[in-house]
């Protein structure tokens, strides 16, 4: 009886370990005042070794899901352009499968410039949807929400 119980417990522990969600990207969200009523919002992705995160822009033959940043409407804030990517971009190409991708490894920072319409303390919030892959598999897209104080 003890052997059967022990076997069941070992099998269950293996199942639960395999069922854990992989999370190879850690995010941090900050802001910095760069001028009167002008801020930069930093969305920093730290990527585990062996994994990569896709750029916001992808080639036509890409099958990857590009990173997409969405900012929630705030009547006190206006966006100044599109978020810029700061990091070492890698241009991946698989000639056998005839696909390519723009991707980052290790770390990338998405920087969005914003302007306040009035002198006020407020937040900017939104979400970032992204996909990560390693050399063997891709994980389903993930959406991460954020809120950053502008003060």
Instruction: Summarize the confidence of residues 96-120 as an average pLDDT.
Output: 93
Is 25 or 8 the better-scoring residue by pLDDT? Answer: 25
pLDDT at 61: 83
Q: What is the pLDDT of residues 21-73, one digit of tens each?
A: 689 999 999 999 999 999 999 999 999 999 999 999 999 888 889 999 999 99
Distance CA 85, CA 88 (A): 9
pLDDT, position 56: 98
50 DSSP assignment: T
| Domains contained in the chain, CATH given | 22-150 (2.60.40.1250)
Q: What is the pTM of this model?
A: 0.83
Number of CB atoms found within 10 A of residue 25's CB: 23
Mean pLDDT to the nearest integer, 93-113: 92
Within 10 angstroms of residue 77's Cβ, the number of other Cβ atoms is 23
Structure tokens at 86: 């700061």
Give me the mean pLDDT over the 77-93 stretch.
Answer: 96
CA distances from 103 to 76, 91, 95, 134, 143 (A): 33, 7, 17, 11, 18
Distances, alpha carbon 116 to alpha carbons 43, 44, 145, in Å = 19, 22, 21
Segment 77-95 mean pLDDT: 94
Say if residues 54 and 64 touch (Cβ distance below 8 Å): yes
Query: What is the structure's pLDDT at 41?
Result: 98
Q: What is the pLDDT of residue 75?
A: 97
- What per-residue confidence (pLDDT) applies to 20? 52
For the chain, the average pLDDT equals 87
The residue assigned the tokens 């971009």 is 89
Closest C-alpha to 89, from 69, 103, 101, 107: 103
């Amino acid at each position: 009886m003890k052997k059967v119980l022990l076997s069941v417990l070992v099998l269950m522990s293996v199942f639960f370990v395999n069922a854990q969600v992989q999370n190879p990207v850690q995010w941090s969200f900050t802001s910095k005042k760069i001028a009167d009523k002008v801020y930069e919002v930093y969305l920093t992705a730290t990527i585990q070794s062996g994994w990569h995160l896709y750029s916001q822009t992808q080639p036509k033959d890409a099958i990857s899901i590009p990173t997409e940043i969405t900012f929630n409407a705030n009547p006190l804030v206006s966006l100044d352009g599109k978020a810029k990517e700061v990091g070492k971009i890698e241009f991946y190409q698989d000639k056998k499968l005839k696909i390519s991708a723009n991707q980052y490894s290790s770390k990338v920072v998405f920087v969005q410039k914003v302007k306040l319409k009035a002198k006020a303390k407020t937040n900017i919030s939104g979400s970032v949807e992204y996909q990560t892959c390693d050399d063997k598999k891709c994980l389903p897209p993930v959406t991460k929400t954020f809120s950053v104080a502008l003060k």
